[in-house]
Structure 1
Amino acid sequence: MIRTARISAVVALIAVSGLVAACGTSVDSPAARTAASVSVDIPADVTIAVRIAGGSVTPTNTRTEARLYQPIVIKVDSDAADELHLHSEPSQTFAVEPKSGQEFRFIVTVPGRVDVELHHAGKTVTTLLIRQ
C-alpha cells in the first residue's frame, strides 16, 4: 500500500512537471507575448559623437531626433576641458575633460527642443528634437 502511494505520487509529480514545462515553453502564453512587446517598445540609444580638437568642435548646429525617455549617449573625444550643458527640464551639465572616450548618458522627460552646448567653446553641438 505504501509502495502504491509512492508510485502514484511520482506519477502525479511527473505529470505536473510536464504541464509546467509545457506552459513555460509556449510561444502563445501571455507572459511570452508581454515579454516580446516590452522588448520591442524599448527604444535604442541615440548616440552622438563629438570631437573637440584645436579649438574646433565637430559636429555643430545639427538636429537630432529622439523620443521621451529614450537613452541618449554623447561620446566625447577632447583635447581641452569644457562643460557640456543640456538646456532641458531640468537642465543637466557634464564636465568634459581633455581626454578620449568620455561618455555622457541621459534621458529627456519633457518633449520639445533641447540645445546641447559646449560652454567654453561657445558652440551648440546639436539641438535635440524630443517627441512623445
Structure 2
Amino acid sequence: MTRTWRDAAVALAVVAAALGCSAEDSTKQPGVSATAEADAVVVEFRIANGTVSPVNARRDAKVGQPIDLVVDSDSEDELHVHATPEYTFVVRPGAGQRFRFTVEVPGRVEVELHHAHKTVATVVVRP
C-alpha cells in the first residue's frame, strides 16, 4: 500500500507540473479550484489622474469566500483591508493587478486606498 500512495503522489506532482502550477504564480492561490475562482467576489476599480472610480462599491460575501480586488492604476498606493485578518497590498502603476483575500469574521469590511484617502469598497461578509 505504501507504493500505491507514493505512486499517486508522484502522479499528482507530474500533473501539477504539467499544468504549470508554481509557488511563484501570484494570480493563483495554492489549492484554489476553478469553482472557487468562479465563486470569488470581484471588485474592480481604477486610479487615474488622482481620481478613484468607482468609490465605495458595495459587495456581499460569505465568510471564507475569496474576494478579488482588480486594479488599474497610473500611480502607487496601498490598499488596506480592514477585516479579520487585516491585509495590506501594494498597488503599482499598471493594469489588471489582482489581490485576493478572505475574511474569517462576519461584518462590514472596508477596503481603503491609503494615499488617496478613499474607500473603494465595502464588503458585507455574512456567516
Q: Structure 2-normalised TM-score?
A: 0.69
Give, as a single letter, the amino acid of the residue that structure 1 aligns with 2:55.
T
Name the one with the larger strand percent: 2
Aligned length: 93
Residues 45-77 of structure 1 show CA distances to partners (whole Å, capped at 9, x for unaligned) of 111111000001011122211111011111000
Counterpart of 2:60 (choices 56, 65, 76) is: 65
Measured in 1, the distance between the counterparts of 2:65 and 2:85 equals: 16
Q: Percent identity?
A: 54
Give, as a single letter, the amino acid of the residue that structure 1 aligns with 2:67.
I
The answer (yes or no) to whether the contact 2:110–2:121 under 8 Å persists in 1 is yes
Runs of 4+ that moved beyond 4 A: none
Give, as a single letter, the amino acid of the residue that structure 2 aligns with 1:124.
T
Aligned counterparts, 1:41-60, within 5 A? 44-60=39-55
The answer (yes or no) to whether the contact 2:43–2:57 under 8 Å persists in 1 is no
CA RMSD of aligned residues (A): 1.7
- Structure 1 gaps, min length 5: 1-38
Measured in 1, the distance between the counterparts of 2:78 and 2:99 equals: 12
| SS at structure 1 position matched to 2:94 | coil
| SS at structure 2 position matched to 1:74 | strand
- Structure 2 gaps, min length 5: 1-32
Measured in 2, the distance between the counterparts of 1:72 and 1:95 equals: 16
| SS at structure 2 position matched to 1:101 | strand
Counterpart of 1:109 (choices 100, 104, 112) is: 104
Q: Structure 1-normalised TM-score?
A: 0.66
